[in-house]
Structure 1
Amino acid sequence: MLSTLIRVRLSQNLARLVPQLKGELESIVATEFPECNDWTSVKFQPFALRAISRISGRAFVGPSINRSEQWMDTSINFAIHVFTAVVKLQFFPEWSRPAAQYLVSELRQIRKDIDVAKKMLKPVIEERLRDMEMHSAEEKPDDLIQWLVEALPAEEKTDYEAQAHIQLVLAAASIHTTTNLVTDCMYDLAAHPEIQEMLREEAHQVLEVEEGWLRKESMAKLKKLDSFMKETQRLAGNITGFIRKVLKPITLSDGTRLPPGTKLLTPQAGISHDERFFADPETFDALRFYKMRQASEEEGHRWQFSSIGDTNVNFGAGRHACPGRFFAGNEIKMVLAYFLLKYEVRLKDGEGRPKGMMMVMSKMPDANAELLFRRRTVD
């Protein structure tokens, strides 16, 4: 059900959400991003983490909660606690984990996170349920809290712990991955200043001249920015796309047999650097996918940022592909377009593009890297 709500309701309501999400971005830039009247050194990743938390939170829990420091801390740290707990549990044999769990402090913190989220969500959910019973004439909120109370069976509408768990799992799946990619995109903008004006002109035409900030479909018109994002994801994406466990015997085309219990990993990094799929794969080409989309209508759909396929499994594959990838794509476009229109960005003198770090099968941008920003003067 959650996958359907994210894929259908979130996508359907993007047109109404975009102005609200842009308002969240403008608010956090005004309060937490430096003035940058002249070239100013900024650690972008910590800012991006809080910005994405606020913007995503606006769509998930609404305006009464998303700006709360307690909610932001809980939704951001829940994913860290889960990841750390999983890593620590790997050091214990499977048979011992029921007892070993008491040695992993992050598991206790996870339960505390859920309790905090439950206490914050309960009064909001109760208010939404009262409004539903009274058939309030006010416009319904556009957020996941509302979609859940409308979609859940009557006996589950007041299961506050379950809804808290859903919200935190969604935050864990969305905040850090989106932050990482928007940060890598900003690093690439700084490392390739020659593409900034091209992307800026596209954003200006679509979002300002055509007043596209008010329309969801305008984000789809940012085709060059879409290509730039996909190229960044190609080179900075994770080492593997997803992991699956074989449930019944499978025989591959070359005769290899996979018994139940076998774990499979998709080699995303290997695919992304394979010259059979991408010409000159080690070169960053911001318009790579823009040009590939010009070949035909079919190719135009195949090479969009949010598209999935044999050569792009960053979002998973098949029916289990990430249902929030369309929202994430629009969210990243909005942040990048806003910064392109408002700021110039470059690397510090003598420095190259910040290098990422690898942890297990994931790649992450350097959280301590600093870029130089300067506010643009627009006539």
Structure 2
Amino acid sequence: MQFRDRLYQIGGTEGLQLVLPSNYLGELKTLPEDVLSAKAAIADALQSKYTKFSPGHNAELLTLLLRTRLTQNLARLAPQLKEEFEYIVATEFPACDDWTPVKWHPFALRVITQLSGRAFVGPGINRQERWMDTSSNFAIHVFVAGAKLQLFPEWVRPVIQYLVTDLAKIRCDIESAKAMIKPVLEERIRDLDVPSCQDAPDDMIQWLIEALPEGERADVQTQAELQLVIAAASIHTTHGLLCECMYDLAAHQDIQEELREEAYQVLEVDEGWGRKESMAKLKKMDSFMREVQRLRGNIGQSVHPSPHPSTDTTGIPSPIKDALLTLPLVSFLRKVMQPISLSDGTQLPVGTRVVAPLAGIAHDERFFPNPDRFDPLRFYRLRQESAEANNRMQFTSIDDTYVNFGAGRHACPGRFFASDVIKLVLARFVLDYHVRLRPGEGRPKPKSIVMTKSPSSNAVLEFRRRS
């Protein structure tokens, strides 16, 4: 806590960044995009000019659809996601009649990729192995390409780009996505002119068709690029938190029974599996997830995912390579576009990149008593104190002392979907399985390098089906 209430600079893969204590966030998060820009900061960090990681002129539309259509349709999506998850477990997870070792990280990645795909590209595409590979690898290729480009001065990047092989992989990812999306898109466009008593599909392909301008509605290039941007922004962050949640469940046997009893009452006795509102009733699980997120890492503002086995990171120095392939310990990434004078006289010149310190805030005893202690029901107890606390201490809630999902107008618009997906997976597992660490092993440790953190990718847990 050496710099708790002070500005300080840190070096990262994008150069020096100014770290802002939480007391500045309330002032900065309301500034308009042309003064303090999230888009410009992310474009710099990911070299979007070359990597194509950008929704372009459809950025506001895409954010609006995630914030409205996706969130508003969670109730209709709930039974579809449950059906999809049961299919994944039946086809990909071992029987576990006795204690069975399972490498959780790759299984969890498949779960999140397939469940996200169900909501974004629909059941005709999401189970295809090609889609799962393309949608998860696109993020890796973008981040590695951006990292390699940042090793060179800006003036030479227009030439160096032709030597960065990951940019070619990005183009292949886009072409692969187009090939899978094209027949579905063409069928959906034809169906617009055919009267039907059936409801339109509940997925992002359909929502984009209905929301895009007439000239782009049938454009497969637009659909493919936007779908890959969504996948890159959602899959690895949600996957990272799901891994850490399961590692903590295995390490803390006592909380399993607490969560199991709650899930049984809400989802089994009250028959809440098919209802979105049931997930909001899982308050102990909500608290557990928020506490894991507080201590273990970030979701929603991440731009550095875990590595895929096929990812080529050749040419990146090892310390930078490790940092790029993990989750960040910072949030609220912004770039100053016009000079900013803060209320205490601090001046932020044009071009300054600013971030908020997730780890520093999470370990501040002023906000979280006994901050280094893992307390899975910390937020559950706090929510009992008042109606205001009940709203403010939810997993998806944001304020100046909890910026894991960002802050202000750029807070993660998909966090409600991510919350429901993680609760679905955790609830099913605590009801159907016991989970533990392997005998003699401790909780899998995350890797922290530079400004990033990632869950263990090699950890093996043991599962046994409950009788």
TM-score grouping bracket, smaller chain normalisation: over 0.9
Q: Where does residue 364 of structure 1 map in the other structure?
A: 454
* C-alpha distance in 2 between matches for 1:84 and 1:70: 21
Q: Where does residue 169 of structure 2 map in the other structure?
A: 109
Q: Where does residue 89 of structure 1 map in the other structure?
A: 149
2:67 maps to 1:7: yes
1:271 to 361, 380, 387: 361
- Corresponding residue SS for 1:310: coil
2:331 maps to 1:331: no
- Corresponding residue SS for 1:266: strand
Q: Where does residue 171 of structure 1 map in the other structure?
A: 231
Q: Where does residue 340 of structure 1 map in the other structure?
A: 430
- Corresponding residue SS for 2:364: coil
Output aligned runs, 1:317-328, within 5 Å: 317-328=407-418
Bigger Cα displacement from structure 2, 156-165 vs 357-366: 357-366
- Relative to structure 1, the CA distance from residue 140 to residue 359 in structure 2 (aligned partners, 3 Å threshold; closer, same or farther) is farther
* C-alpha distance in 2 between matches for 1:36 and 1:81: 35
2:262 maps to 1:262: no
2:375 maps to 1:375: no
2:111 maps to 1:51: yes
- Deviation at 1:163? 0.9
- Corresponding residue SS for 1:212: coil
Q: Which residue identity lines up with residue 30 of structure 1 in the other structure?
A: A
* C-alpha distance in 2 between matches for 1:116 and 1:360: 34
2:364 maps to 1:304: no
Q: Where does residue 316 of structure 2 map in the other structure?
A: none
2:137 maps to 1:77: yes
Q: Which is richer in helix? A: 1
Q: Which residue identity lines up with residue 8 of structure 1 in the other structure?
A: T
> CA offsets, 1:175-197, max 9 Å, x none?
11001001100000011001100
- Deviation at 1:360? 4.8
- Corresponding residue SS for 2:245: helix
- Corresponding residue SS for 1:155: coil
Kindly indicate whether the alpha-carbon contact (under 8 Å) linking 2:82 and 2:274 is maintained by their aligned counterparts in 1: no
Q: Where does residue 288 of structure 1 map in the other structure?
A: 378
- Corresponding residue SS for 2:273: helix
2:343 maps to 1:253: yes
Identity %: 66
- Deviation at 1:294? 1.2
- Deviation at 1:252? 2.5
Using the size of structure 1 for normalisation, the TM-score is 0.98
2:322 maps to 1:232: no
- Deviation at 1:109? 0.4
Count of residues paired in the alignment: 377
1:353 to 439, 443, 458: 443
- Corresponding residue SS for 1:130: helix
Q: Which residue identity lines up with residue 333 of structure 1 in the other structure?
A: K
- Corresponding residue SS for 1:244: strand
Using the size of structure 2 for normalisation, the TM-score is 0.80
* C-alpha distance in 1 between matches for 2:228 and 2:451: 22
- Deviation at 1:244? 0.5
* C-alpha distance in 2 between matches for 1:294 and 1:165: 44
**Structure 1 stretches of at least 4 aligned residues deviating more than 4 Å after TM superposition:** none
Q: Which residue identity lines up with residue 149 of structure 1 in the other structure?
A: I
Q: Which residue identity lines up with residue 177 of structure 1 in the other structure?
A: T
* C-alpha distance in 2 between matches for 1:347 and 1:363: 21
- Deviation at 1:138? 2.2
Q: Where does residue 223 of structure 1 map in the other structure?
A: 283
1:99 to 159, 166, 170: 159
